[in-house]
Amino acid sequence: MIRFLFKSLLLVAVLAAAVAGAAAWWINQPLDISAPGGAPAGGGAATVDLSIEPGISAKAVAQLVAQSGVAVDPTLLYAWFRLSGDARRIKAGSYELQAGLTPKSLLEKLVQGDEVMERITLVEGSTFRQFLEVLSKEELLTHSARGLSDEMIMEKLGKPGLHPEGRFFPDTYAFARGSSDLHVLERAMRAMNKQLEAAWARKSADSPLKSADEALILASIVEKETGAAADRPMVASVFANRLRIGMLLQTDPTVIYGMGARFDGNLRKKDLQTDTPWNTYTRAGLPPTPIAMPGKASLLAAVAPPPSKALYFVARGDGSSQFSDSLGAHNRAVNKFQRNQK
């Protein structure tokens, strides 16, 4: 009996050692990483993006890693997070995962990422030109896009002929020193594609929008027209209602965008009457392209605004807007909030 117990314990010990050895081998093996849509901009190793929101569990992080394009068993990865003792130390942020990463170095990145990675923020409502300006001022990036035309940049990103406006998701991106600005743009473009696809899947049945591109255009208008975040859904509702009945959108930000460098900060009556492809006072429907980079809230508002009869809105002067169903009510609101009349 004693001999049997001894052999059993020895077998358990051998198995435990084998498991420990296999685990030690596995956590140091490079993970297979596949860049979505093919090779990364400018060549180089494949990379994928991983966005971890505050409060997310280690188990959910493991799932996100697998979903992002890393060939790994999320259950096994989560077990490693737990056994390491660092599962609770994983930090929220936007990470870039490159080929050559191992389960061990991945966890180290997620635990220390905010400390060792640089960060750059692309702001909601910015134009593509403003995005490029922000990138050009970041000294820790390699400026591969400097001096390139918009068309050349989109070609480098694998999207020749696509207008760049609205195609990059505004967010904070972590990057290693020396990374290319094209690489950041590529990640922002993939992020926008993902956000737009998710938003379009939630489109309301009665939406007047015919495509995801139209949703992106409307979302960019909502982004520029919204002063208070709480007003986004109703701003989108106004424009959706106008599109349904064929009413001109008559939104100033589109006119300003169409003016380009001619805009000096003052929008005049003659500007509203001067036709451009983006002038929604002279042309019906949506403009041909987005006019800025919309955030997630504007995308969701554009595809599924709340039902209403509102056709007008005017700024109250405190950042919020007053919405009206009729022209008469709108004129009264204008008198009250814009002309200081009772």
DSSP string, 277-295: TT-TTTS-S--SS-SS---
pLDDT of residue 80: 92
Helix (H) or strand (E) segment spanning residue 68: helix 58-68
Q: What is the pTM of this model?
A: 0.72
Residue 139 pLDDT grade (very low, low, confident, very high; cuts 50, 70, 90): very high
- Whether 266 has a pLDDT exceeding 60, the answer reads yes
Dig out the tokens for 268 from the structure: 């005049």
CA-based radius of gyration for the chain: 26
Residue 203 pLDDT grade (very low, low, confident, very high; cuts 50, 70, 90): very high
pLDDT of residue 37: 47
pLDDT of residue 98: 82
Q: What is the rounded average pLDDT for all residues in the chain?
A: 88
Q: Which amino acid is at 164?
A: P
Residue 152 pLDDT grade (very low, low, confident, very high; cuts 50, 70, 90): very high
Residue 42 pLDDT grade (very low, low, confident, very high; cuts 50, 70, 90): very low
State the CATH class of domain 32-116: alpha beta
Sequence spans of domains, the chain: 32-116, 204-337
Strand 321-324 vs strand 312-315: parallel, antiparallel, or unpaired?
antiparallel
Q: State the SS3 of 115-147.
A: HHCEEEECCCCCCHHHHHHHHHCCCCCECCCCC
Average pLDDT over residues 220-243: 96
Other Cβ atoms less than 10 A from the Cβ of 286: the count is 24
pLDDT of residue 6: 55
Average pLDDT over residues 131-150: 94
Query: Are the C-beta atoms of 173 and 186 separated by less than 8 Å?
Result: no
Residue 20 pLDDT grade (very low, low, confident, very high; cuts 50, 70, 90): low
Which span out of 95-99, 115-119, 159-163 was modeled with the highest average pLDDT? Answer: 159-163
pLDDT of residue 138: 94
SS3 102: coil
- Whether 340 has a pLDDT exceeding 80, the answer reads no
Average pLDDT over residues 156-162: 95
- Whether 8 has a pLDDT exceeding 90, the answer reads no
pLDDT of residue 193: 96
Give the separation between CA 264 and CA 262, rounded to whole angstroms: 6
Residue 311 pLDDT grade (very low, low, confident, very high; cuts 50, 70, 90): very high
Give the separation between CA 218 and CA 287, rounded to whole angstroms: 9
Of the candidates 60, 96, 104, 102, the residue with the CA atom closest to the CA atom of residue 78? 60
- Whether 38 has a pLDDT exceeding 50, the answer reads no
- Whether 275 has a pLDDT exceeding 80, the answer reads yes
Distances (CA, A) of 301 to 36, 232, 286, 330: 27, 6, 16, 22
Segment 112-116 long-range contacts (CB within 8 Å, at least 24 positions apart) = 113/174, 114/174
Q: Which amino acid is at 328?
A: G
Give the separation between CA 324 and CA 302, rounded to whole angstroms: 19
